[in-house]
Structure 1
């Protein structure tokens, strides 16, 4: 009897609406219509699950129906208040991952690759490298990453460190029957963060010094990249009397910088290096000649 009382008291203390019904046929009852919160989810927590942007990627992985069904089951299992919040979140917010003016990659082997990742099966694939050279690789697939609408496979060739492969460049794939041992120390999120940081550092191999007109910070970010421009602005000195600032900006190459900076027209002037200043002048002279 004492155990029952203690349990009922504990349930009431946890927020479960248990009440006593006195009389000969009485006892303890649960409030009609009460349903427990799914794993204790709050309204905000339940809503956030429907803002995960999963329908598109799940469909690409062959899990579109499963994701949709899971969403319906989650909604049905929620109490009224969190269910209402989650439904409004789904009605009012939509995540579209790829950038403007580009389609998502064609990834005919994504489902097969994901199954190899999940089952820890080696993958024999032919892969088209950036120089259009097609090579054959046998890799141990550790994970998949979706970045800006493009899928990347993180995998290790036999006896080597993990590398990244763009799934859209896989030209054929064969799942091997063996099962490999995935390193327990490997963390996909940590690997990708380090890879992305190293990639940015390797990508920007040169620096240029430019004068920029006032009021074009957003255009600079759009043209040259937000991280690059923010770093340049943080190290910039005070504007001159006309509001122009001198920035040192990291770029992929001098040639690439020419085409990027030409987009800014007369609102930017290259100061250094002389090679880039010469390329700008040459291009502008050719344009003036073309247009008379």
Structure 2
């Protein structure tokens, strides 16, 4: 007999009011017979559970039988349902625990804040992954959660973008970050070197015997902010001069990252009398810029550097030959 399940039955009745044995069974994933037995045990323990007969009947607690959390404001009640979002919690292997914790908190709230929390839960839904990309499989994420909490090193086999692509590392996990639906592990390789690893690129992971101490002054949020800023600075290795038609400028926000759009707005100068402008934009590489600019078709012209203009011309020429008619 699970004492935790008995508590869950009690909290369900506190938060939902009257419930049938079938409803309790479905909520807890047990049989109706088990639900009846749990209700009887609560009654035997002195909990004032009583049954209402009939089609609209069910089990409920006597009015006033509840543990209350005092001093919780309306805003705090709303915030309750933004803590431990179910999607990320499930990724971390904590879905059941988060659901149980939310149920316990909800059951303990007075009527007003509880109603506000329930209204908030009904009108917000978080779907972290971006469009045009499936949710990533992260089979080793629960292992990293345990390693972060127990401060245990992990031996991994990792796939990276540069050669050699497959490497083996002993990592000392400091924390996990969810960015746009993608999980990243922040871990130390040595006492002075902390790095970031995409969890889906971990090919194999095994807990090591080594235990480590997380530095007292390490701030995961501050580390991640600095990492993102550094990434953005390293991402753009050069600039390109481009010309855009009026339609190209209108289409730009749907076909280029925000930093490119901002650069066009900041540097655009008119070219001729037909509304075209010339601007300087940041680029990651010639190859990457070619793919980005081709999305705009004839509404863009690459002016410089020469390597980008030549790459665009070569691609357009190959397309023309492919679709040559006659």
Contact 1:107 1:168 in 2 (8 A): yes
8 A Cα contact 1:53 1:95, kept in partner:
no
Q: CA deviation at 1:49?
A: 3.3
- Of 75, 97, 104, the match for 1:44: 75
Shift of 1:180: 1.1
Q: 1:147 aligns with which of 157, 179, 189?
A: 179
Which residue among 42, 54, 67 is the counterpart of 2:98? 67
How far apart are residue 240 of structure 1 and its match? 6.0
The yes-or-no answer on 1:192 pairing with 2:192 is no
Distance 2:289 2:194 in 1: 32
1:223 and 1:40, CA in 2 relative to 1: closer, same or farther beyond 3 A? farther
CA positional deviation for 1:53? 7.0
Q: Which residue of 1 aligns with 2:145?
A: 114
The residue that corresponds to 2:31 in the other structure is none
In 1: Cα distance, 2:249 partner to 2:82 partner? 30
**What is the aligned partner in structure 1 of residue 30 from structure 2?**
none
Residue equivalent to 1:283: 315
Unpaired segments ≥5 residues, structure 2: 1-62
Which residue pairs with 1:274 in the alignment? 306
Cα separation, partners in 2 of 1:50 and 1:179, compared to 1, 3 Å: same
Matches within 5 A, 1:1-292: 38=69, 40-51=71-82, 54-131=85-162, 133-217=165-249, 219-237=251-269, 241-292=273-324
State how far apart, in whole Å, the 1-side matches of 2:168 and 2:285 are. Answer: 31
Equivalenced residue count is 261
Give the conservation status (yes or no) of the 8 Å contact 2:92–2:142. yes
Pairwise CA RMSD = 2.4
**Kept after mapping to 1: 8 A contact 2:248/2:300:** no
Secondary structure, aligned partner of 2:204:
strand
CA contact (8 A) 1:53 1:96 kept: no
Following TM superposition, by how much is the alpha carbon of 1:84 offset from its aligned partner in structure 2, in angstroms?
2.1
Would you say the 8 A contact 2:243–2:279 is kept in 1? yes
Which string of whole-angstrom CA distances, capped at 9 and with x for unpartnered residues, describes residues 236-257 of structure 1?
3468643333221111101111
For residues 286 and 241 of structure 2, the distance between their equivalents in structure 1, rounded to whole angstroms, comes to: 11
